[in-house]
Amino acid sequence: MKDRLNVILKAAVEAYVDTGEPVSSKLILAREGLEVSSATVRNDLAELEREGYLEQPHTSAGRIPTEKGYRYYVDHLLQSTGLSVERAAILDEVVGDPTGNVDEFLKHALSRFSEITGYTAAAVISHSDEDRIIKVELVKTADNCLNLVAITRSGTVKNSFCRFYFLADDDEIEALSEMLNSFLGDVSFTRLTDEDFEELEAKLSALHSNWNFLAGVVKNMVNSIRNPKVFVSGQSNLLSHPEFYEVHKVQNVMRFLSHEEEIRNLLSVQGGEELSIAIGSEIAGMDFGDMGLIVRKYGSRSGFGAISLLGPKRMDYGANASQVEYFAKCIEQYLKDREGS
């Protein structure tokens, strides 16, 4: 594409991102200070429309970018301005209080990230093969009630309450604790198999004739920990964008955001190891023609996943890509700090 068409397409995309209104030749001349006539700009806009980079929503209106236009802009014209010192300080503050377990921290951090950006934020975190349960605590809450608490190296804490229909004294509970810690302690739970839990059931039966049911409790607890976790925040932010004033458009997205498995699958397949931007039909397996998605994978020894922002196709990809990149690095550092603590 010749240089002037690049300038005009860039100006058209950025003007539409700023205003949400179709862009005229007069507006482009005012923004760019081009030393050409309005007729020349109109001709260039018409050429960009013929090539599929712009479209004219109404006969008398200006033009707006197509999906192809956004893609070309992101790939060839987008200039990363980096994150401002002020915005970096705000994001640093979000992750500056790493209290609680990993799930609580990520839920809070993602909520604040969504508030700051004004878009819907979604994250997935999975445990790596190196993560493991480092301790199992048994808390007797009543004569026949027990709380199993598992703590992983990455900081995840999982509780599982169970009730048994017999009395167990403190010595029996202590023996049970020693067995469960021996079975789970410092073992990569991603590698535990059904055969391992069958073996645990046999050992529990040998320890006490009524303990065998706990093998199923422990298995469910381990599966709950090792399944990827999904966090979503800021769904209502979509309603502030004109693209979603029509109910049927936002319903489709809201329905998607209510299904964790669909979010997990999308963020797992979208993009590679670096930051990626998907626009409209590029969003894998979804009919999101009016959406834009920015995804950044992240990881450490004990956890890996993805941070994303979902918004209208008419989003500021440069500014938001910088925020996603910085925020994902903060999450990575948080996970690494936990590993070293």
* CATH, residue 250: 3.30.450.40
Shared domain for 7 and 58, answered yes or no, is yes
- My answer on whether 245 and 184 are in the same domain is no
Do 190 and 149 share a domain, yes or no?
A: yes
Strands (E), the chain: 54-55, 64-65, 120-126, 133-142, 145-152, 157-163, 229-233, 276-279, 291-299, 304-312
Q: Say if residue 336 is in the same domain as residue 234.
A: yes
Domain coverage including residue 184 = 133-226
Residue 248 token pair: 């049927």
What CATH number does residue 144 fall under? Answer: 3.30.390
Per-residue pLDDT at 150 exceeds 80: yes
Q: Domain boundary at 44, 77, 110, which?
A: 77
Taking residue 19's Cβ as centre, other Cβ atoms within 10 Å add up to: 11
Residues 216 and 233 in one domain: no
Both 105 and 66 in one domain: the answer is: no
pLDDT greater than 80 at residue 301 = no
**Which of 118, 126, 154, 152 lies closest to 137, judged by CA?**
152
What pLDDT was estimated at residue 30? Answer: 87
pLDDT over 60 at 299, yes or no: yes
Q: Residue 273 has what pLDDT? A: 64
pLDDT in tens, 257-276: 888 888 888 887 776 667 89
Is 1 a residue whose pLDDT tops 80? no
Choose the final residue of a domain: 226, 243, 273: 226
If one counts the domains in the chain, the total is: 3
For 197-226, write each residue's pLDDT tens digit: 999 999 998 888 788 888 999 999 888 888
Last residue of a domain, one of 226, 259, 291: 226
Amino acid at 37: S
